[in-house]
Amino acid sequence: MASIRPSLQGASFKDFCEQPENRQLMMEHQRKEIRQMQKSSAEMSALQFRGSVLESDYEAQKNIAPFLENRVLRRIVKTFTNDPKGDFSRWARNPLVLKMLNRAKEVSPPRVTRVVRFYPRNSLYFYLP
């Protein structure tokens, strides 16, 4: 009898969710959960990026700071954290990479949305989309 009860409860919940008066409520709840999950994922990604930047040396932080104002350039800088060796500083100090970022910055105007935090220790701003 115990093995029958869980399957009956599962079927009754499925029936409950599919009833017309409950279906809309369940869909709204699912959309809300998805939005919360996406927001949480974006926050974790931003925290990981911030950690990678703050672990790098001062010169690397100083080099990339001007590019964090622009959403597109910030995404490019964020790809520096994908280095298999985890060497963010090497990319942030590479003269060819900095030259490319400067050219892209000249073409693309900054779109600052909001400042998340200011780190006075190293004068580095972080922006979120």
pTM check: above 0.85: no
Asked whether the predicted pLDDT for residue 9 surpasses 70, the reply is no
Residue with token string 């030259």: 99
How many distinct structural domains can be found in the chain?
A: 1
CB 58 within 8 A of CB 25: no
Range with the poorest average pLDDT among 34-38, 55-59, 125-129: 125-129
Query: Which residue from 11, 6, 117 is spatially nearest to 68, judged by alpha carbons?
Result: 117
pLDDT tens digit sequence for 62-107: 988 888 888 888 888 888 888 788 788 888 889 999 999 988 888 8
What does the pLDDT read at residue 4? 47
Query: Which residue from 108, 125, 112, 116 is spatially nearest to 61, judged by alpha carbons?
Result: 125
123 in helix, strand or coil?
Answer: coil
Residue with token string 């869909």: 27
CB 73 within 8 A of CB 82: no
The boundaries of the domain holding residue 95 are 4-128
Amino acid of residue 61: Q
Tokens read off for 50: 């911030």
- Rounded CA gap, 60 and 68, in Å? 13
Range with the poorest average pLDDT among 2-16, 39-53, 86-100: 2-16
